[in-house]
Amino acid sequence: MSVRIQLNPVGWLSQLSQLEVSQLETSTSDDLYRVFRNCCLAVLNSGIEQDDSEALFDQYRDFDVNLIRRERGVKIELVNPPEVAFVDGQLITGVHEHLFAVLRDMLYMNTKHEYRYSREIDSSGFTTHLVFDMLRHANALATGDPANLIVCWGGHSIRKEEYKYTKEVGYELGLRGMNICTGCGPGAMKGPMKGAAIGHAKQRIKSGRYIGISEPSIIAAEPPNAIVNELIIMPDIEKRLEAFVRACHGIVIFPGGVGTAEELLYLLGLLLQEENEHQVLPIILTGPREKAEYFQAIDSFVKATLGEKASEKYKIITGDAKQVARDLFESQQKVRQYRKEFGDSFNFNWRLKIPVDFQAPFEPTHESMAALDLRLSQSPSALAANLRKCFSGIVAGNVKAEGIRLIQERGPFELTGDSELMRQMDELLQSFVEQGRMKLPGSSYKPCYKLVV
């Protein structure tokens, strides 16, 4: 006997017109519905630290989700949902809200932009508009807030001492009234939020924001952590990255694996653009003092491939959570002043130039990975864009269901390029392996790539 539970809509989704409801009903193609269902299942498992999306889905083969039309809008019906999402038979409030965030971002926003997006995919301005519109509909661009949103990047599977340090940094940021935005998963995405929540509580800040920005192919492998109180699901990794950098006022990068390196390369590629030369965006790489080797490897790779100018875009601080928070707090005034000088928004960095090459979705396949231009002779920004795609493919082969299937069917991706660049990449990736940053819990790591000189 199946269990069926209907949920009333929350937020502005409780006031949809019948036309909008009709559009929602017709938007659920087989592929989109599958993604929508999987995202809902991930949200229902909020707080579960899970690396294997296939294992997660296998546990709930009889789970389903339906949309129920009502005069004032639409309800969500859950069929055989996971028990972990309930307390004494009642769905956890935060999970309820996140399910309608999935509906908003996956179906409503997809329907809203489907026609134009299919025809303007190469328009940088339109992509930025789409990112803005999704953040605005999620109420993530609160106009009354000061410039105090700090994005935290880092690994989802990190050691205990690293996780403790991310909480310490979050705590110091929370004491200074800073809000936190992460990729919404476990590890370095959860720690800063947890620490900030305690800092906010001590300062009697009741409006603390813990924003989680994910995308469909990642959220299943990294369900939202329990601290997230604002969930946003962008259509793909490129729009997710743009949402981070447009909305934030500073970025902290903790130790992580290839995904963290991908995020740093994306960021450096943007800041190396001539149009972004004077952007005020503080970036701090930080972790426990005993993990300095991680940052040494990253810093050496950046200098060897993108040059000294790229390494000047960030500061490395190890073992000093208070100094990290002080630097970011003090930088708020510089960020505000820069935005005022150019008449830019405090809550969405319109002035940041993001080329189409950083916005166009990259689908990692054996062919697209082999075709990447990995030569040192190109401009640092162009090289950063290609390296970002390369690392994105490695992330897909490690944790995303479709990427894992590709590797199982056809073997590892083949990467080719300059011998020196390949050597630098090999050293960096090998250092991640040696530090246990590319090993998934419960299994030994098998590379999803091989370097061909």
Q: What is the mean pLDDT of residues 332-359?
A: 94
Q: What is the mean pLDDT of residues 295-300?
A: 93
How many Cα atoms are found within 13 Å in the side-chain-facing hemisphere of 447? 14
Is the per-residue pLDDT at 53 higher than 80? Answer: no
Q: Which of 16-25, 77-86, 400-409 has the highest mean pLDDT?
A: 77-86
Rounded-to-integer distance, Cα 20 and Cα 107, Å: 10
- pLDDT band for 221, please (50, 70, 90 cuts): confident
Q: So what's the pLDDT on residue 191?
A: 97
- pLDDT band for 168, please (50, 70, 90 cuts): very high
- pLDDT band for 442, please (50, 70, 90 cuts): very low
* Domains of the chain with bracketed CATH: 4-119 (3.30.1850.10), 123-453 (3.40.50.450)
Is the per-residue pLDDT at 441 higher than 70? Answer: no
Q: What is the mean pLDDT of residues 180-203?
A: 96
Is the per-residue pLDDT at 419 higher than 70? Answer: yes
Q: Which tokens in the block code for residue 299?
A: 């810093």
Is the per-residue pLDDT at 266 higher than 90? Answer: yes
- pLDDT band for 275, please (50, 70, 90 cuts): very high
Rounded-to-integer distance, Cα 96 and Cα 179, Å: 23
Rounded-to-integer distance, Cα 12 and Cα 89, Å: 26
Q: So what's the pLDDT on residue 87?
A: 95
Q: What is the mean pLDDT of residues 327-336?
A: 95
Q: So what's the pLDDT on residue 399?
A: 73
Q: Beta partners for 182?
A: 212
The DSSP line for 77-129 is: EEES--GGGEETTEE-HHHHHHHHHHIIIIIIHHHHHHHHHHH-TT-HHHHHH
Element at 153 (helix H, strand E): strand 149-153
Choose between 304 and 50: higher pLDDT: 304
Is the per-residue pLDDT at 251 higher than 90? Answer: yes
Helix (H, G, I), strand (E, B) or coil at 48: coil
Q: So what's the pLDDT on residue 296?
A: 92
Lowest mean pLDDT among 17-26, 166-175, 352-361, 404-413: 17-26
Lowest mean pLDDT among 159-173, 189-203, 327-341, 401-415: 401-415
Q: So what's the pLDDT on residue 249?
A: 96
Lowest mean pLDDT among 4-8, 125-129, 143-147: 143-147
Q: What is the largest CA-CA distance in the chain?
A: 64
* pTM of this structure: 0.90
Rounded-to-integer distance, Cα 156 and Cα 163, Å: 10
Amino acid at 28: T
Rounded-to-integer distance, Cα 425 and Cα 427, Å: 5
Mean pLDDT of the chain: 88
Q: So what's the pLDDT on residue 325?
A: 98
Q: How far is CA 270 from the centre of its chain?
A: 17
Q: So what's the pLDDT on residue 61?
A: 87
Burial of 277 (0-12, 13-18, 19+ CB in 10 A): exposed
Rounded-to-integer distance, Cα 408 and Cα 417, Å: 24
Is the per-residue pLDDT at 404 higher than 90? Answer: no
Is the per-residue pLDDT at 26 higher than 50? Answer: yes
Q: So what's the pLDDT on residue 68?
A: 86
Q: So what's the pLDDT on residue 131?
A: 94
Q: So what's the pLDDT on residue 165?
A: 97
Q: So what's the pLDDT on residue 49?
A: 67
| Pairing between β-strand 90-91 and β-strand 86-87 as defined by DSSP bridges | antiparallel
Rounded-to-integer distance, Cα 114 and Cα 43, Å: 24
With residues binned 3-state (H G I as helix, E B as strand, rest as coil), the percentages for the chain, rounded to 5, are 55, 15, 35
Strands (DSSP E) found in 1-132: 4-7, 64-70, 73-79, 86-87, 90-91
Residue 289: count other Cβ atoms within 10 Å of its Cβ. 10
- Give the chain's length: 453
The DSSP line for 172-218 is: HHHHTT-EEEE-SSSGGGTHHHHHHHHHHHHTT-----EEEEE-HHH
Q: So what's the pLDDT on residue 158?
A: 87
Is the per-residue pLDDT at 164 higher than 60? Answer: yes
Q: Are 138 and 212 in contact (CB under 8 A)?
A: no
Is the per-residue pLDDT at 30 higher than 80? Answer: no
First to last CA, the chain: 58
CA distances from residue 22 to 17, 79, 95, 176, 383 in whole angstroms, order as listed: 9, 22, 25, 46, 45
Q: So what's the pLDDT on residue 52?
A: 59
Rounded-to-integer distance, Cα 260 and Cα 258, Å: 5
Q: So what's the pLDDT on residue 307?
A: 94
Q: What is the mean pLDDT of residues 155-168?
A: 92
Q: Which residue has the tokens 């519109």?
A: 133
- pLDDT band for 50, please (50, 70, 90 cuts): low
Choose between 426 and 179: higher pLDDT: 179
